[in-house]
Structure 1
Amino acid sequence: MEIIKLIETIGTILIFLATGIVISKRGIVKEKDTKALTDIIIYIAIPALIISEIPKSLEIILIGDLYIVPIISFLFTLIILYFGKGIARQISSIAPHKEDVFALAMAFPNTVFVGLPLMITLYGNKVVGMVFFYDLGVNIVLYSLAISILKNEITSAKKLIKSVVNPPLIAIIIAIILYLLDIELPSLVSNALNMLGDTTIALSLLVVGIIIGSLKINLKIIDRSMIFICFLKLFISGFLMFVIVYKLNIDVLIKKILILEASMPTMVVVSILARTYNRDYRYAAMTVFLTTVLSIITIPIMVTVIEKLI
């Protein structure tokens, strides 16, 4: 991959993030407004993108290779979650009430709101299916084990299904059916879906910027454990995924997406869940902020290494 394209990609992401931060700080868009924007992304833009692009992806990528993505992401996220809990117990600066937040910050990458725009900008719309299949595996762990850990109780099957069966998953099923039955949508519908889907990148990055801008960041609370999270989340996770997929007989592009998604900054939802379940949400918010900011530096490094080794 050309270094100029990589710089342009990161520069584009920075512009959108900075725009989101500025309009948040100036009060043009408030934190409560992100709910409406997020709903537009989840219920309209992303499903439109999936339905318009996944059939094209399946023409390029073997469907059998694509199905292994959620299995790998599920198992990997599960391993990192418990690996994080084990590490948290060994770090003296982490109070017991922060251990679960530490583990979640390590385990759950921002697959969609940062990962999706990055992957599309780097590799084109053909990676949409890969990203959402990866996100499916992550979400199963998030809405089952992660919430169970925070609530100290088992998540019911009904609640898990309700959380996992969301508009993007329904759109994936529709897209696969369209592909398997060789159904071509009317150009009027197809054009509308393409236009709606094209808004996903801009809206996603703006929302992340707005959320970061609304966080009450206190640099004084940065401690050794947060630096440790950044190192583990942005470098070690990606390295571990590289070790897992390097010898697998799957499409090279899928390998790259798996490694990069594992290297994404902490999911914004982690701070929301921490607040919902009365955990240290300030600690969670700070890890989201730090990993997102530092990922601007680490992502080019990871992309360069991946392009040379795979």
Structure 2
Amino acid sequence: MSVFLHAIEGVITLLLMGLSGWYMSYKGWIDENNRALLPKLVNYISLPLFFIYNLTTTFSKDQLEHLITGAAIPFLSMIICYFLSLLFVRILHIKHGHRGTFSASFTNSNSIFVGVPVTLALFGEKALPYALLFFFANTTFFWTIGNASIQSDANKSSSWKDYMTVATLKKIFSAPICGFLISVFFILTDIKLPPFLMDTAKYLGNMTTPIALIFIGATLYSMDFKKLKFDRDLNGVLLGRFIAAPIVTYIVGSFFPIPELMFKDFIVMSSLPAMIQTVVLSSLYKTDLEYATVIVSITTILSIITIPIYMVLLSYM
């Protein structure tokens, strides 16, 4: 029971940070004039530095090489989920302007801000390398294919061909993925940054989660919840996040001779809420911000229910 409560507490912490953003908007401290600063601060400053500090202090060269070779299962699972999301886009007739956000949310989970605390709570520190392995694959996929997909929602063309050909180099090499790649380069070449630079990256990088959640809370305050509907655009994401992605991961993982603990952790990691940065990118690219905010908020709230369900299911495996 203590493990269960600890996992739920991690999700509640995220919700409370989001609530602080709602309160700041209620008080008028965050308004339409200054709210746009928050996603820019996350995307261009804190998140790239978050990667530089955390990756270079977490992984050695040997560990990173092991992660790269061992990331086949989550990578393959996400590729399958992504193409599955494209199929759902057509089957469910997802709206133009929602399709990229739909696919990114369907495919990628909140593997670091929710995934790591949940892994530690459910499986202990011995499972942390597996969570970081999933995070490595998830981050790479989101900030390349996911980033390009969300940006495609800003394309007002109704052509499916236009939607499929937006993954240009300019879109893929965003500030976060550049920070991620710089981190990998530093690790592989054994480059050590001076302590004052690492401290700067640490402090600014640690702002990522609070600022992103404050922005989500502020956006929620400005929304008209009377318009909130569990329509196919939202229900399709819920189906992907909580059912399709874990099932795909289970099937893919069954074909690989991996430790049981790794197998279970991958399933849990694949079933987590949509990435917080989905809202950040939606704001930056001026897509449907309310849609992205609802996805992240609803999946985070529902994870209070789904995480215990997967705990019970995995206990019988």
Confirm or deny a common fold (TM above 0.5): yes
Q: 1:24 to 1:68 in 2, by over 3 A?
A: farther
Q: 1:29 to 1:138 in 2, by over 3 A?
A: same
Corresponding residue for 2:125? Answer: none
Matches within 5 A, 1:241-280: 241-248=249-256, 256=265, 260-261=269-270, 263-265=272-274, 267-268=278-279, 276=287
Matches within 5 A, 1:168-247: 168-218=176-226, 221-223=229-231, 226-227=234-235, 229-247=237-255
Q: What amino acid is aligned across from residue 273 of structure 2 in structure 1? A: M
CA positional deviation for 1:204: 2.0
CA positional deviation for 1:6: 0.5
Corresponding residue for 1:44? Answer: 45
CA-to-aligned-CA distance 1:264-294 (integer Å, 9 cap, x gap): 2384379769974xx8x87776555544433
SS at match of 1:33: coil
Checking the alignment, whether the CA contact within 8 Å between 1:235 and 1:263 is kept in structure 2 is no
Matches within 5 A, 1:1-310: 2-31=3-32, 33-59=34-60, 60=63, 62-65=66-69, 68=72, 71-72=75-76, 75-89=79-93, 98-100=94-96, 104=100, 106-109=102-105, 114-123=110-119, 127=132, 129-139=136-146, 142=149, 151-152=158-159, 153-154=161-162, 160-218=168-226, 221-223=229-231, 226-227=234-235, 229-248=237-256, 256=265, 260-261=269-270, 263-265=272-274, 267-268=278-279, 276=287, 289-302=297-310, 304=311, 308=315
Q: Find the aligned partners of 1:130 and 1:246 in 2 and give their Cα distance.
A: 18
List runs of 5+ in structure 1 lacking aligned partners. Answer: 90-97
Q: Find the aligned partners of 2:301 and 2:104 in 1 and give their Cα distance.
A: 16
Q: Find the aligned partners of 2:294 and 2:68 in 1 and give their Cα distance.
A: 39
Kindly, what percent of the aligned residue pairs are identical?
18
TM norm structure 2: 0.72
Q: 1:110 to 1:16 in 2, by over 3 A?
A: farther
Checking the alignment, whether the CA contact within 8 Å between 2:102 and 2:237 is kept in structure 1 is yes
CA positional deviation for 1:29: 1.1
Q: Find the aligned partners of 1:35 and 1:112 in 2 and give their Cα distance.
A: 24
CA positional deviation for 1:187: 1.7
CA positional deviation for 1:76: 3.0
Q: 1:3 to 1:248 in 2, by over 3 A?
A: same
CA positional deviation for 1:142: 0.8
Q: Find the aligned partners of 2:67 and 2:305 in 1 and give their Cα distance.
A: 33
